[in-house]
């Protein structure tokens, strides 16, 4: 069993239960020494990635259902949207493992860890959805996260700059207000799940920051100007205020980067 080949295989799986179980099994195999790593493999890009279930229907972000927290269905729509983000995040972490060759071993171990934790988040959210009378796939969803991934397949620096450090870092900013809303309507189980996700996502964004800065140093680039150039080149969405400064600092953003974001 080779780690990157297995990550690609799991990425192609369409059943979300099978995918989450396979991620856990791969992590256990890696931890126990039952999985090798070849950092030099250059894979042919298959046509069947990412593996997606038949549902949910993928629509434009403006066509995703409104999220009225005061009804069970409204909360379910919100939980479903979060579950879809986490499902995409599983695929993104697996894609980071197989796609980019010639990185240090720690890089692949880091993104495997991210995949495991994203699978855990997805499972928590889907189990909560079931308690509300729904399941993942019952509502439409948008695919913005993966669309950015497809635009950054040619450069690992762009991928890390614009997915974990931009798209996923937005979750650090949005989480406190969202957590407050679900707590206000009495859904404390959802609030606890959001606490878990925020805790782990700080670590995931920190991993993105570490490898972004490592790559910038390797290429002789200044991080803030490199990020600005990549965001312009790949037409990344502008991060929206307010920023969760505490969480972003914990995730490895510098004060200088936060000041730049505030003024961008």
The residues near 90 (Cβ < 8 Å, ≥ 6 apart) are: 19, 20, 23, 115, 118, 119, 122
- Print the SS3 string covering 175-187: HHHHHHHHHHCCC
pTM for this structure?
A: 0.96
pLDDT exceeds cutoff 70 at 97: yes
* pLDDT tens digits along 12-44: 999 999 999 999 999 999 999 999 999 999 999
Average pLDDT over residues 100-127: 98
Per-residue pLDDT band for 206 (boundaries 50, 70, 90) equals very high
Q: What is the mean pLDDT of the chain?
A: 95
Both tokens assigned to 160: 């890390």
Residue 69 C-alpha from the chain's centroid: 24
Which carries the bigger pLDDT value, residue 58 or residue 114? Answer: 114
Residue 113 is predicted with a pLDDT of: 98
Q: How big is the chain, counted in residues? A: 264
pLDDT exceeds cutoff 80 at 137: yes
* pLDDT tens digits along 68-96: 788 999 999 999 999 999 999 999 999 99
Residue 69 is predicted with a pLDDT of: 81
Per-residue pLDDT band for 4 (boundaries 50, 70, 90) equals very high
Which carries the bigger pLDDT value, residue 155 or residue 64? Answer: 155
Is domain 3-37+51-263 annotated with CATH 1.20.1260? yes
Residue 197 is predicted with a pLDDT of: 97
């Amino acid at each position: 069993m080779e780690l990157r080949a297995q990550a690609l295989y799991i990425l192609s799986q369409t059943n979300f239960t099978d995918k989450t179980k396979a991620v856990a099994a791969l992590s256990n195999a890696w931890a126990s020494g039952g999985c090798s790593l070849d950092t030099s493999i250059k894979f042919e890009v298959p046509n069947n990635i990412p593996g997606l279930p038949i549902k949910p229907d993928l629509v434009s972000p403006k066509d995703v259902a409104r999220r009225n927290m005061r009804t069970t269905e409204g909360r379910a729509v919100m939980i479903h949207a979060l579950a879809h983000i986490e499902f995409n995040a599983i695929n993104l972490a697996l894609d980071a493992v197989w796609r980019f060759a010639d990185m240090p071993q720690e890089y692949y171990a880091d993104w495997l860890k991210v995949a495991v934790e994203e699978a855990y988040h997805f499972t928590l959210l889907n189990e909560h959805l079931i308690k509300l009378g729904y399941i993942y796939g019952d509502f439409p969803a948008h695919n913005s996260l993966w669309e950015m991934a497809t635009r950054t397949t040619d450069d690992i620096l762009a991928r890390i700059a614009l997915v974990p450090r931009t798209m996923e870092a937005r979750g650090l900013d949005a989480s406190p207000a969202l957590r407050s809303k679900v707590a206000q309507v009495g859904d404390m189980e959802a609030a606890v799940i959001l606490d878990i996700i925020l805790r782990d996502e700080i670590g995931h964004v920190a991993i993105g920051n570490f490898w972004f800065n490592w790559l910038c140093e390797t290429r002789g680039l200044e991080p803030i100007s490199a990020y600005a150039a990549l965001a312009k080149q790949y037409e990344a969405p502008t991060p929206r205020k307010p920023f969760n400064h505490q969480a972003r600092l914990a995730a490895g953003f510098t004060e200088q980067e936060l000041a730049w974001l505030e003024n961008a």
